[in-house]
A and B are shown apart, each in its own frame.
Chain A
Amino acid sequence: MTKQIIVPFGPQHPVLPEPIHLDLVLEDERVVDVIPSIGYIHRGFEKLVEKREYTEYVYIAERTCGICSFIHGATYCQGIEQIMNIDVPERAQYLRVIWSEYSRLHSHLLWLGLFADSFGFENLFMNAWRIRERILDVMEQTTGGRVIQGSCKIGGVRRDISNEKLDEMRRDLDGIEREIRDLTTVFLQDDSIKHRLRNVGRLSKEDAYHLGAVGPTARGSGVAIDLRKTGYGAYGKLNFQLVTDNCGDCYGRCAVRAQELFTSIDLIRQAVRKIPDGPIDVRVTGAPNGEFFTRAEQPRGELVHYLKGNGTKFLVRSRIRTPTLTNIPPLVRMLQGCELADVPVIVLSIDPCISCTER
């Protein structure tokens, strides 16, 4: 009978962007069970909604996460607009889509860099982040902030992008696309990377669906769920293909995210071509009364905001269910049976954004 030992993973680990704690139960070098433990970054956002008016809560909703910040703000605004039956002008919806897709590009490039770092390829990590700098420069030129944009408000957006700037962004995307193509060729074709990622952290399609996996974690196992297909915002007017992969291992999840970079570039080009002229916001009066579940697609998966108001300026309840919270049970399933040296790669392949998870 082999002896079992428990090795703690995290909360401090060079590979993790945010702190999470996993107790790994090992027999020799093989993991047999995992006990996750979170709570290192709980800031009590949902309690703060009782103290800040609903118009100011946008700033707080955006600061839930540093990587996927724009989509949190946009989804919160979308939820309040649904409760109050506000019609957002078309130009504002297209601008939100353009910024969301830039946000997705920068998040996937950040993840590709961290992933390369987790199996030891630091030059690849730095090259992915070098391309990401170009995306962040565009975000700063159009909104004023690299990481926290602050450009969504209830009823529309706060800043406009001129048509000349939109054309310049579209031309820059050609250069960015060439560099991304070189980078993803390395990730997908190089043999030493394939050796580290193939058959590591397998998740079958059945397990992915029933354990609640969302986003690229689910799409890497063949489950075709992408909330952008429901057509919220301006996504209903844009065409794109879902990207899935049937392998279900770390290589599959990496391939899905690498391919989604090109989907995002294509969506930005379509949006820039189709954006109409017009106002960018509407005046908002009154207070929300009612409740709503609103969903959006973050780079990591499906985001749900539940909002409930009772007619006063302060909301009664705001609940943010982020994709990483629901990707933790599939992570526990993936880690059972793997080798200890593969644990950082598998933990990073679900793209953990723990500050979103714990709000």
Chain B
Amino acid sequence: MAFFEMTKTAIKTLLSTPATILYPAQPAKKTPLSRGHVTIDESRCISCGTCQRKCPSQAIIISKEAKTWQIDRLRCVVCNSCVDTCPVKCLFMDTQYSSPVIARSVELIAITYVKPVKPEKKDEASA
């Protein structure tokens, strides 16, 4: 008859530190690779549209005329495709989750990339 098999585990867990974290009072544990939300360095984006084409949930919309980059945080599934395929590496994956919202909205960011002047042609920079 085998009873009290659990005693050893029960006493060990009673006397050790809790296994749970008091989130959100304490921050959640994250690793360097954790996928939280996508951020952009707007001074490097060349508006090529690759991230918009590769996004599987159509969360990114780029407007070349208005020079904006917008993302719908609730559609984004943080799959990392845009970060992987950006040709100038201006997108980064941050480890913290995006914060909760009470209404659907998109995040609009203005692109501040300035095409560098080519000295031999002596043309004005097309901003």
Please report A residues at the B interface, Cβ cutoff 8 Å: 52, 56, 59-60, 63, 123-124, 127, 130, 133, 137, 140-145, 148, 150, 158-159, 182-183, 185-186, 189-192
Can you list 13 A-B pairs with a CB-CB distance of less than 8 A?
Answer: A124-B6, A127-B13, A130-B13, A141-B31, A141-B33, A144-B34, A144-B80, A150-B35, A159-B33, A183-B9, A186-B9, A189-B2, A190-B2
How far, in whole Å, are A56 and B59 apart by their CA atoms in the complex? Answer: 14
B8 at the interface (CB under 8 A from A): yes
How far, in whole Å, are A127 and B10 apart by their CA atoms in the complex? Answer: 9
Closest to B19 in A: A130
User: 4 more A-B contacts (CB under 8 A) besides A144-B33, A145-B35, A158-B80?
Assistant: A183-B9, A186-B6, A190-B5, A192-B3
| Chain A min CB distance to B23 (Å) | 13
B86 at the interface (CB under 8 A from A): no
Residues of B within 8 A of A52 (CB): 56
B61 at the interface (CB under 8 A from A): no
Closest to A182 in B: B9
Residues of A within 8 A of B34 (CB): 140, 144-145
How far, in whole Å, are A29 and B95 apart by their CA atoms in the complex? Answer: 53
B41 at the interface (CB under 8 A from A): no
Closest to B3 in A: A191
Residues of B within 8 A of A143 (CB): 33
B1 at the interface (CB under 8 A from A): yes
Residues of A within 8 A of B93 (CB): 144
Best-surrounded residue of B13, B33, B93 (most CB of chain A within 10 A): B33
- Contact of B35 (CB < 8 Å), options: A124, A144, A183: A144
Question: What 3 pairs between A and B have smallest CB-CB spacing?
Answer: A56-B56, A144-B33, A144-B35
Cβ of B19 and Cβ of A59 under 8 Å apart?
no
How far, in whole Å, are A127 and B8 apart by their CA atoms in the complex? Answer: 12
How far, in whole Å, are A306 and B3 apart by their CA atoms in the complex? Answer: 49
Query: How many contacts A-B (CB < 8 Å)?
Result: 58
Cβ of A59 and Cβ of B56 under 8 Å apart?
yes
Please report B residues at the A interface, Cβ cutoff 8 Å: 1-3, 5-6, 8-10, 13, 19, 29, 31, 33-35, 54, 56, 77, 79-81, 84, 93
Cβ of B79 and Cβ of A150 under 8 Å apart?
yes
Closest to A183 in B: B9
Cβ of B33 and Cβ of A140 under 8 Å apart?
yes
How far, in whole Å, are A51 and B5 apart by their CA atoms in the complex? Answer: 54
How far, in whole Å, are A52 and B54 apart by their CA atoms in the complex? Answer: 11
How far, in whole Å, are A123 and B29 apart by their CA atoms in the complex? Answer: 24
Residues of A within 8 A of B3 (CB): 190-192
How far, in whole Å, are A123 and B19 apart by their CA atoms in the complex? Answer: 13
How far, in whole Å, are A23 and B104 apart by their CA atoms in the complex? Answer: 40
How far, in whole Å, are A197 and B14 apart by their CA atoms in the complex? Answer: 28
Cβ of A142 and Cβ of B6 under 8 Å apart?
no
How far, in whole Å, are A148 and B77 apart by their CA atoms in the complex? Answer: 10
| Chain A min CB distance to B40 (Å) | 19
Residues of B within 8 A of A150 (CB): 35, 79-80
Closest to B33 in A: A144
Closest to A151 in B: B80
Residues of A within 8 A of B13 (CB): 127, 130
| Chain B min CB distance to A131 (Å) | 10
Closest to B36 in A: A144
Cβ of B1 and Cβ of A191 under 8 Å apart?
yes
Closest to A57 in B: B56
